[in-house]
Chains A and B, each alone.
Chain A
Amino acid sequence: MAHSGKFYSEMIRSELEEIVGRSFVSVDENDKLVYSTDWSWMPQMWLDRGQRLTTPDYIVHPGSTEEVSEIVKVANNYRIPVVPFGGGSGTQGGALPVYGGILVDTKRLDKIIEIDEKSLTVTAQAGINGTQLEWALNEKGLTFPHYQASTHCATLGGNLAPRGSGTISTKYGKAEDMVLSMEVVLPNGDIIRTPSVPKHAAGPDYFHLFLGAEGTFGIITEATMQVDYLPEVRLLRGLLFDDLSNALEAGRRMMTRRLDPLVIRLYDPKSTASRVKKILGYEFDGAYMVLGFDGDEDLATLQEQKAMDICEELNARDLGREPGEAWWEKRYDFYYPPQNLKLPWMYGTTETVTTYDKIENVYYGVKKAVEEGYADWDVRWIGHFSHWFHWGVTLYSRFIIEEPPEDAEEALQLHNRVWNTAMTAVLENGGMLNDHHGVGLKLARYMSRQYGAAWPFLLTLKKAIDPNGIMNPGKVGFGF
């Protein structure tokens, strides 16, 4: 830590108060505790067991991009870590203030700057809440088709920083596909605006550096996002496959033939038997699939017909509209207590993405490694295939241990071993470390293995952009 002692810390506090105003700087113990955790299992478990976490030294609430810039300049001057905090809904520990420092809560930056109904874009500050943004767009017949599980709590900046996906990303793309331009505060306090469109031939693409950097290359303070008209129709239905391979092949064919589905959500048999039953109340034996199309009614109907032909060829049983519509209505219900995965269980989302030729190897490889490696702990491993691309698919897998060690350190050690096993299996079978939750703290240690010879290049970039290493240290593998 660059500073110590009450005298020095009060000096820094007074500088921060000069920037944002006294009421927007906190060193209160209650605030520090609340801001010391996010939506990831590790810190939640730690607090649950009565253990203390590292807390930020200061919590600041800037009201403008200029204030963010001034805060970062102060941090650079004193060599203090800066941790951006939007909704705190990340699952990878990306917003944890593991080295203390200045936690920058972006939620005062919550204005919609402009809705352009011709270009179909919205420009908003990065701290705006996802659902509030969506409601504002709905008033004009528009939608921001991200629809992620954390929409009620995540901020726009939080969608972009870890390269998030939403329920309908299969058709509309990930957050990174929907962003046209961003305003970013760089680690030296400079404020930049990326070019007005993301696709052009006017030089190297530095724009994407900030997507996936999770605050380590700067703080996103504003973004212009592509939006869409609310669809004329949404057609959803449920299907059941006896064979998971057939179901995967059905998805592959739909995507590679560009039928443009809104959503394909394919649950493996164990997920079908547990999560689908628990949340939706359906008892199916096999691999349950939700299939959806939206947009113009004629087009969507035709696309759906073509998709159903493919599914029929692969021996799917059509369950009709009701299960699909029920899934759509309840798609966020999985995340409300007590239906969500919660303490005292140990759990983790070991999701990955890879190409179609490798996905089954990844699925069975991770499944075997985790189930066999932790059989003594009665581990459950469930998976579903959530986000589909022209070239591959996301495996959204989870491990659950219902009776982990009661001792916090032992629990953490076991948790980390399970992750090591899962990520090793992912990498060995050709998967990526993560598809849409990001790297954060939890996966940081695997980054050099993921990138191999390219990792020193990323480290060089980080050093150039953030020479004092103040931006969200310890995350994304960049250390401190």
Chain B
Amino acid sequence: MPIEDVILTTDNCRYCLMCRHVCPVGLITAKETLTPHGWGLTIASVRRGLLEWDPNTVDVLYSCADCGTCRAHCVTDQPLPEAIAAARAEVASSDLAPSAVTEVHAALQEWGNPYEEKAPSPVEGQGDVALFVGDDAQYLWPTALEAALKLLKAVGVEPVLIGVGRNNGYLASSLGYPETAQRLAQATLDDLSASGANRVLVLTPGDFFTFSQLYDERLGVEWPQDVALQEVVTFLAEQLEAGALKLELSKDETPYAYVDPTHSVSVTTRYDAPRKLLAAMLPTPGRELFWRRERAHPCGNTALQYTNHHIATHLNYSRLDDALKAGARMIVIEDPGCLAQLSRHAEMFRVEVRGLYELLADHLK
């Protein structure tokens, strides 16, 4: 989003309070400044000379989770997350970004991921279907990838792996580095081209949102029109319905809840698929979190884990507490980044965290 357009959005949002009820950071912190209106007013006030970017105001700016929940609930679709990302880009280009942000950026520039000093793996082979792996699945929770591949093989799909160990570009964009994000996006598209695929499966709604929306809106990078995009979870649900995916019924009656991953709010057609898969495999009906489906709150796996670790941790606590209050003793989620974050604190809440792909793979007939 061009920086000039930031003005219009933040001028619209600065005095509007109509999405406050869904902002996860606003809810966790109970602080007016850390709400969509607060961020809009902060940015608008810097532009009017009433505030300036200093460590405190920059800290405020980087306390937004960039989860998209505000925009998903805006009747007039104000792109405030895009405006905040653009303001962060302005801050970053003025060398005012916090050191935690610049360190992660350096890693993304060098390695394409914030976790390991390893370059992304090149594409091997070609095929009609590709699977975007990303960095979270490669480094944080590889069993999710293994299980997803096993499930796809069971229905006759053996995808070419692309983006192995490379962030999809969302993190760099969220931190305020659109050029790095564009390079990562282009690298993804280069992998796609090398694979020859006309269909890409993704492991998470975050990847789906990034490719289908963020690339175009924030980075000016166009997803190829002739390449279909689908989440693995919705694909598997279709296969279940068609009878191609066969699952054994588990005897495990542990009360469970499905946790809609980060960015689910931006992909409104995906809520039933994981629930249907779980219902086909687990003997008891799933519990529902309060913050679910169209109002699903993120886990702490957004850029916030680097920019405000305290709030990110409390986002995790909040999801686990929500599950506990719903009566769940097990939570199921497919997003590798969310799995890594939630697992860190699960014991404190006496809740078991299970990967959806792993659970499904364990129950393949």
A residues near B (Cβ < 8 Å) are 26, 28-31, 33-35, 37, 39, 44, 47-48, 50, 52, 61, 85, 87-89, 105, 107-108, 110, 127, 129-132, 135-136, 139, 150-153, 330, 332-333, 335-340, 342-343
Contacts and interface: CB of A to CB of B under 8 A. Distances in A.
Contact of B19 (A44, A105, A152, A333): A152
Interface string B6-27: 0000011101111111100001
A48 B48 contact: yes
Given A30-B57, A47-B50, 4 more contacts: A105-B31, A150-B17, A337-B16, A342-B12
A339 B76 contact: yes
Contact of B15 (A28, A50, A52, A342): A342
Of the listed residues A35, A88, A332, the one surrounded by the most CB atoms of chain B closer than 10 A to its CB is A88
Interface stretch (B38-46, B121-129, B181-189): B38-46
A29 B21 contact: no
Contacts of B33: 28, 30-31, 34-35
Contacts of A30: 33, 42, 51, 56-57, 60
A122 to B, nearest CB: 15
Nearest to A31: B33
A139 B327 CA distance: 14
B308 interface: no
B16 A33 contact: no
B74 interface: yes
Q: Give the 7 A-B residue pairs with the shortest CB-CB distance, closest first.
A: A153-B17, A337-B12, A131-B21, A107-B30, A152-B21, A153-B20, A108-B30
Interface of B: 11-13, 15-22, 27, 30-33, 37-38, 41-42, 45, 48-51, 56-57, 60, 74-76, 78, 290, 295
A108 B29 CA distance: 8
B75 A336 contact: yes
Contact of A61 (B18, B30, B38, B49): B30
8 contacts: A30-B56, A34-B37, A37-B41, A39-B17, A87-B17, A336-B75, A336-B78, A337-B78
Nearest to B45: A33
A279 to B, nearest CB: 10
Contacts of A26: 31
B47 to A, nearest CB: 10
Nearest to B19: A152
Contact of A105 (B12, B32, B60): B32
A411 to B, nearest CB: 15
B42 A34 contact: yes
B38 A34 contact: yes
A157 to B, nearest CB: 13
A457 B41 CA distance: 41
Contacts of B295: 135
A34 B32 CA distance: 7
B48 A47 contact: yes
Contacts of B42: 30, 33-34
A137 B97 CA distance: 43
Contacts of A37: 15, 41
B75 A333 contact: yes
Contact of B18 (A29, A35, A48, A335): A335
Contact of A336 (B20, B22, B38, B74): B74
Contacts of B19: 152
Given A31-B33, A47-B45, A136-B290, A130 B21 contact: yes
A174 B112 CA distance: 57
A153 B18 contact: yes
Contacts of A340: 16
Contacts of B11: 343
B352 to A, nearest CB: 24
Contact of B76 (A105, A127, A336): A336
A332 to B, nearest CB: 7
A332 B21 CA distance: 14
B16 A88 contact: no
B20 A87 contact: yes
A33 B45 CA distance: 9
A105 B15 contact: no
A248 B78 CA distance: 38
Given A34-B41, A48-B48, A29 B12 contact: no
Contacts of B32: 31, 34-35, 85, 88, 105, 107
Given A30-B60, A47-B45, A339-B76, A132 B21 contact: yes
B51 A29 contact: yes
A353 B51 CA distance: 41
A332 B6 CA distance: 25
A335 B48 CA distance: 24
A326 B294 CA distance: 21
B98 to A, nearest CB: 15
Contacts of B57: 29-30
A378 B252 CA distance: 71
A333 to B, nearest CB: 5
Nearest to B32: A34
Nearest to B26: A107
A152 B17 contact: yes
A89 B17 contact: yes
Nearest to B39: A34
Contacts of B41: 33-34, 37, 47
Contacts of B48: 47-48, 50
Of the listed residues A33, A105, A139, A335, the one surrounded by the most CB atoms of chain B closer than 10 A to its CB is A33
B30 A152 contact: no
Contact of A33 (B15, B27, B31, B51): B51
A342 B17 CA distance: 13
B56 A28 contact: yes
Contacts of B76: 333, 336-339
B56 A153 contact: no
Contacts of A107: 30-32
